[in-house]
Amino acid sequence: MKTTIGVIGATGYAGAELVRILAGHPDVALTTITSRQYQGTAISDLYPALRGVVDLVCETYDPAATLERAEVWFLALPHKLPMALVPDMLAAGKKVIDLSADFRFRNQAAYEAHYQPHSAADLLPRAVYGLCEVYAEKIRNADLIGNPGCYPTSVLLPLVPLVKNGLIDPATLIADAKSGVSGAGRGASLTTHFCQVSESFKAYKVAAHRHNPEMEEVLGDQAGKPVHITFVPHLVPMSRGMQTTQYTSLTAGVGEGDLRACLQAYYKESAFVRLLPPGQAADSASVRGTNFCDIGLVVDEHTGRVILLSAIDNLVKGAAGQAVQNMNLMLGLDETAGLLGVPYPV
Amino acid sequence: MKTTIGVIGATGYAGAELVRILAGHPDVALTTITSRQYQGTAISDLYPALRGVVDLVCETYDPAATLERAEVWFLALPHKLPMALVPDMLAAGKKVIDLSADFRFRNQAAYEAHYQPHSAADLLPRAVYGLCEVYAEKIRNADLIGNPGCYPTSVLLPLVPLVKNGLIDPATLIADAKSGVSGAGRGASLTTHFCQVSESFKAYKVAAHRHNPEMEEVLGDQAGKPVHITFVPHLVPMSRGMQTTQYTSLTAGVGEGDLRACLQAYYKESAFVRLLPPGQAADSASVRGTNFCDIGLVVDEHTGRVILLSAIDNLVKGAAGQAVQNMNLMLGLDETAGLLGVPYPV
Amino acid sequence: MKTTIGVIGATGYAGAELVRILAGHPDVALTTITSRQYQGTAISDLYPALRGVVDLVCETYDPAATLERAEVWFLALPHKLPMALVPDMLAAGKKVIDLSADFRFRNQAAYEAHYQPHSAADLLPRAVYGLCEVYAEKIRNADLIGNPGCYPTSVLLPLVPLVKNGLIDPATLIADAKSGVSGAGRGASLTTHFCQVSESFKAYKVAAHRHNPEMEEVLGDQAGKPVHITFVPHLVPMSRGMQTTQYTSLTAGVGEGDLRACLQAYYKESAFVRLLPPGQAADSASVRGTNFCDIGLVVDEHTGRVILLSAIDNLVKGAAGQAVQNMNLMLGLDETAGLLGVPYPV
Amino acid sequence: MKTTIGVIGATGYAGAELVRILAGHPDVALTTITSRQYQGTAISDLYPALRGVVDLVCETYDPAATLERAEVWFLALPHKLPMALVPDMLAAGKKVIDLSADFRFRNQAAYEAHYQPHSAADLLPRAVYGLCEVYAEKIRNADLIGNPGCYPTSVLLPLVPLVKNGLIDPATLIADAKSGVSGAGRGASLTTHFCQVSESFKAYKVAAHRHNPEMEEVLGDQAGKPVHITFVPHLVPMSRGMQTTQYTSLTAGVGEGDLRACLQAYYKESAFVRLLPPGQAADSASVRGTNFCDIGLVVDEHTGRVILLSAIDNLVKGAAGQAVQNMNLMLGLDETAGLLGVPYPV
């Protein structure tokens, strides 16, 4: 008997990607999708690629009528909305994976400084940060996941093992991140207009991005002390994908071999982290449509810095794919179930 | 026991797409891939997306050593090369699906007028043109398939039922076709340079494309008399996808309802043809990465013409996907096996 | 003393392109730009490329305060708005070039059938359709120009000489047109979202586009009898540019030489029409940012059809460039003034 | 009487951009263009945008026949070729602007370590590094210019004033640079294939780029001591443009106001450097086709670092535009002559 699944907010890019993955997942049954804006509309009318493949129709989320239709609920909503829905879901014994920022923080003050007052702060200690490769054990026992942002995922996966093991100096963290346009969401805006994006490359929210505290909480947790990171996101004229280049100083005596050994050991059981051989840079195109995170590294001998290069698909490992990976862990399924289709070569 | 499969010419775009589909196919085992240029190189070094997923290494095709490794062979080579390899394959009892033009023609003279002398012309009557929705019965019994070109597939699928049933005037066929850049192949050339393609839209080989005789042979077969088509291909600044708009005059008394009924009846058992409701135009993005052919139509009442709109992915339904669909038919498998992954919403 | 110029609606793509051309024009002085939405904002804050180059600030258009600041007014507004403003402008002795559809039609009924009731219909006989190469004489003496749409410009320039001289059969006109995204305007919408446009090619408003009657009025004028054209526009994943491929039957006895001679004679004094040599197809990239219209042609001997290929920049020859060309004619300036910068090679 | 100009290597992207700018320059006459590969071909056949606008035909460069045709020669050739041609040019009294690396270095050993033995090393002390805003005085008196690379230009312009004035710590320089595809040249290669570039973002030559020593020589010159910079270039799926984000630690006591005042003072006479107001990030699209360098900056208070953001067009300020700016200085013309066309808004 397959586990029943619902997706709230199924029509944004992350929601539709959840629908894609869950509809093809061998061990679960997607029974319900909801949308305030598109109630009554078939998802395949919004995303014609799905015509004849996924025939679900968007409903309004109404706990009385809808909640019992699924054992696991994914929320792909703007932050602030999930905190109003999650308490009832947990009270009804559901498992919840929230893709917004609402349950990513242990530190209520940090959340409230960057977002707004939290109406379900009592649940924060119960929520687990869903960075699967780092917190798998906690995730297996959780019923509430704060699914990581795309930027934090691409920054943290290369960084966590090195910080945890003291190979790099946490006072020197700099992350230069680049995202495809789908990261800005499906809402129409001048920012995402084809003519504004084409032939444009630029930074935005320089050193002021909301993802900073999310990264710093995890890094502080790993370092055992407060950590600051300089983080600058950029917008790339492409639909999907994210590449991050990080610059940090090595601890005295550490060489490239130590770094590679550390990452290899940390990720030796991880199906979705691919450590690249020397000379290969992580390319967003190589992880497009997949749940992989590719990681490369180069030591700049002149300066004693390591350059860490990582690539993910912002909608998959950076959102819907990692959310399903969290679900797999929570349900005791194979961590990779539904997530290992053969990637497109181009 | 899975049927064993080999792909000759696995490193071009169509070849790599064959590798993708076959590696994920539940009923066959891809045992061998070959490449003259990349002998000894892992396919995942050429297409890093495949790293950790497909670990095959390219070999040189050497019949003595290689032929017995597979029961079915796909050839994804430039035309002229397959005609030298196929006779021995058939003699050894293999099934062969050739993606080049070498075995697409019944009419040797038409082939030779547009390509070169045919060294295996005796096999032409034995070969079946692999347009699956039209020639499924013959394909099931064939051991040699000439897999259709991408342009002919996108032109013929909307046209064949209407020509066959006499609903349109075959003296008035005009096809305006548009292809993504992958149709030009993986070879480096100025034509495919990013800076030449970006912000460029243009026709090429106007009314002089080699695909004309291929289309005209099928259309003549359906019409029961010789047919000419005016065909103009264009290059679109996108990687994958093909959209074709056709203009043709209706037979007296025929209306939109007749056309829709005809197409619906013809394709009622076809999993891969999606007839679009009125008001929807076929979009290359909606079939990207899939084996679907979307078909829309509009009647221009002022002029008595029908406008037929079709979209395929040039590398899937236009090449590798249709080739695997042919294999499924030849092996008695479900026609859709390995070809129905849930499409990406964006 | 330079002629003073105002642009109403300067912040859309056509308006901003007018600002670009007029700011660099040697014989006029751009004194006033207006915008309802961006009143008080510098144009260079909306289009940062213009920072330090064009320092005008958007005002609200208020006839009492603004009208006397310019001798020539360009209107780059949605249709329906210009018809309310133009009568007062003409009454004040201004010259007016309207980029909307409001003054493109002689036939009030045709306008009203596709747009809305016309509140200044008495001005329609006074307005001249600003297709410069065709109606130059009338334009020189006009004080009100209905500037052509981009699609009609690309369709009509290759067609008019051939229809006028009877070389093609006006009952067989088919135009398959393709436009870059800027043609949809600067307004945010899902249609222009980068992720919807990228890897997408599709038709829209099939055989139902508002530009049909605009083209048919001119073609009927040239043919001396009513003419229908089958017109299908498509959206191309690029910012600027338009390419049109037309299919029409030759009059008996007409050959490629006759067509070329006709076009050459018609355009021999035209600086902006470039007739391409045999074998060259018109490419949107080759006219990007320019006021050129490139025209190529191929005769399909099998079917007695000619294929006409034309390319323009939808924002220049298809909008702002042609508007300035009209202004040059109206003011007795060199027709090419301000319009002949050396194009970018890529 | 206009100064006569020749361009050697006119058919690559930088060469063609030189042709564009020089053909529109009011004070010079472009008399000669050369190409080994395209001898006898009109430049407008290679770049059809130029048809009817620039009618020069490529010749072979032959000093005996060609040298006297121009007073100023631009060389847009791969490095190693210019060092063989320049000595004769100087001996004949010509002014020379070389766009390759051959004359960018004062330090022969640094050049030879990254390129090859230098056959005209005696000219290195005579050559001036053509970073116009920094070395204008020397350039005015030079007859041989080593025109800067695109990456060094985008890195050095924001950095030089701050290093020179001791506001930042030169031991902490990190530059994360991103370039459009035209930077890879016009030669066909898999790297520039549309299907490889589209949806791809990746680093290359990580911390190992040849531009490092070029930057370090200038920075050392400004700092008065040897300087290392960690430099990582990336490839962006766009044709033109370059954006660089730099991270460096502030000298104790320095704040954002000091940095802005320093840059403002340094560039107060510079027509091509636009210092952006707080909150605006440099965007490659805003300088496309222009000779501008836009510079923005943000101080990250948490870490005491400044983030410097710069954008140029790699083919203009990064190559041909700066070369013409150098020529203007050498000839005593207005520094901006031929370089101030109104930019395209989109």
Per-residue pLDDT of B138-160, as tens digits, reads: 999 999 999 999 999 999 999 99
pLDDT of residue B312: 98
Buried-state track A144-177, b at ≥16 Cβ within 10 A, e below 16: bbbbbbbbbbbbbbbbbbbbbbebbbbebbbbbb
Burial (0-12, 13-18, 19+ Cβ within 10 Å), B30: buried
Query: What is the average pLDDT across D122-144?
Result: 98
A108: enclosing H helix or E strand: helix A108-114
Do residue D198 and residue B193 have CB atoms under 8 angstroms apart?
A: no
Interface test with A, best of D199, D204, D290 (most A CBs within 10 A): D199
Do residue C274 and residue D52 have CB atoms under 8 angstroms apart?
A: yes
What is the Cα–Cα distance from B201 to C312, expressed in whole angstroms? 11
| D243: β partners | D178, D311
pLDDT of residue B209: 76
Query: What is the average pLDDT across C109-123?
Result: 96
Phi, psi of C75 (to 5 degrees): -115, 115
Q: Report yes or no: B211 at the A interface, CB cutoff 8 Å.
A: no
Average pLDDT value for chain C: 97
What is the Cα–Cα distance from C90 to B317, expressed in whole angstroms? 59
Per-residue pLDDT of B243-257, as tens digits, reads: 999 999 999 999 999
D32: enclosing H helix or E strand: strand D28-34
Alpha carbon of A16: minimum distance to chain B alpha carbons (Å): 6
Q: How confident is the model at residue A232 (pLDDT cuts 50, 70, 90)?
A: very high
Q: Among partner residues B13, B195, B240, which is closest to D181 by beta-carbon distance?
A: B195
Q: How confident is the model at residue D208 (pLDDT cuts 50, 70, 90)?
A: confident
Partners for D (CB, 8 Å, 3+ pairs)?
A, B, C
Do residue B346 and residue C241 have CB atoms under 8 angstroms apart?
A: no
Q: What percent of chain C has pLDDT over 70?
A: 100
What is the Cα–Cα distance from B34 to B40, expressed in whole angstroms? 9
Contacts of B286 in chain A (CB under 8 A): 48-49, 51
Q: Report yes or no: C284 at the B interface, CB cutoff 8 Å.
A: yes
Query: What is the average pLDDT across A135-155?
Result: 98
Does the pLDDT of residue A305 top 80, yes or no?
yes
Per-residue pLDDT of D221-233, as tens digits, reads: 999 999 999 999 9
Do residue D21 and residue C342 have CB atoms under 8 angstroms apart?
A: yes
Per-residue pLDDT of B216-244, as tens digits, reads: 999 999 999 999 999 999 999 999 999 99
D17: enclosing H helix or E strand: helix D13-23
Q: Among partner residues A13, A188, A197, which is closest to C188 by beta-carbon distance?
A: A188
- Taking the CA atoms of residue D166, residue D169, residue D174 and residue D177 in that order, the dihedral angle to the nearest 10 degrees is -10
Instruction: Single out the residue of C27, C24, C29 nearest to residue C5, CA to CA.
Output: C29
Token code pair at residue C242: 């338009």
Query: What is the average pLDDT across A73-77?
Result: 98
Q: Report yes or no: C344 at the A interface, CB cutoff 8 Å.
A: no
Contacts of B20 in chain A (CB under 8 A): 342-345
Residue D296 near residue D280 (C-beta atoms within 8 A): yes
Contacts of A17 in chain B (CB under 8 A): 344-345
Do residue B16 and residue A346 have CB atoms under 8 angstroms apart?
A: yes
Size of interface A-D (CB pairs under 8 A): 148
Q: Among partner residues C176, C228, C346, which is closest to B195 by beta-carbon distance?
A: C346
Does the pLDDT of residue B108 top 80, yes or no?
yes
The nearest alpha carbon in chain C to A187 belongs to C190
Instruction: Single out the residue of A305, A322, A335 nearest to residue A76, CA to CA.
Output: A322
Beta-carbon neighbour count of residue C60 at 10 Å? 12
Alpha carbon of B86: minimum distance to chain D alpha carbons (Å): 30
State yes or no: is A195 an active-site residue: no
Which of A211-215, C209-213, C263-267 is predicted most confidently? C263-267
Does the pLDDT of residue A60 top 90, yes or no?
yes
Per-residue pLDDT of D48-89, as tens digits, reads: 999 999 999 999 999 999 999 999 999 999 999 999 999 999
Per-residue pLDDT of C80-93, as tens digits, reads: 999 999 999 999 99
Residue C115 CA, distance from chain mean position: 18
Per-residue pLDDT of D298-321, as tens digits, reads: 999 989 999 999 999 999 999 999
Query: What is the average pLDDT across D116-123?
Result: 97
> What pTM value is reported for the model?
0.97
Rounded to the nearest 5 degrees, what angle is found at the Cα of A100, between the Cα atoms of A96 and A104?
A: 80
pLDDT of residue D302: 87
Token code pair at residue B127: 């070969």
pLDDT of residue A263: 98
- Taking the CA atoms of residue B57, residue B63, residue B67 and residue B69 in that order, the dihedral angle to the nearest 10 degrees is -40
pLDDT of residue A142: 98
| D144: β partners | D96
Average pLDDT value for chain B: 97
Please state, in angstroms and as integers, the Cα–Cα distance from residue A96 to each residue in A63, A100, A143, D46, following that order. Answer: 14, 12, 6, 60
Q: How confident is the model at residue C211 (pLDDT cuts 50, 70, 90)?
A: confident
Please state, in angstroms and as integers, the Cα–Cα distance from residue C80 to each residue in C73, C98, C115, following that order. Answer: 17, 11, 8
What is the Cα–Cα distance from B157 to B134, expressed in whole angstroms? 8
Query: What is the average pLDDT across B100-108?
Result: 96
Q: Is ipTM > 0.95 here?
A: yes
Residue A280 near residue A298 (C-beta atoms within 8 A): no
Residue C57 DSSP class = B
pLDDT of residue D237: 98
What is the Cα–Cα distance from D7 to B276, expressed in whole angstroms? 56
Q: Report yes or no: C342 at the D interface, CB cutoff 8 Å.
A: yes
pLDDT of residue B58: 98
Token code pair at residue B141: 């019994």
Which has the higher per-residue pLDDT, B208 or C146? C146
Interface test with D, best of A192, A193, A202 (most D CBs within 10 A): A202
Residue A111 near residue A134 (C-beta atoms within 8 A): no
CA gyration radius for chain B? Answer: 20
Size of interface A-C (CB pairs under 8 A): 53
Average pLDDT value for chain D: 97
Q: How confident is the model at residue A171 (pLDDT cuts 50, 70, 90)?
A: very high
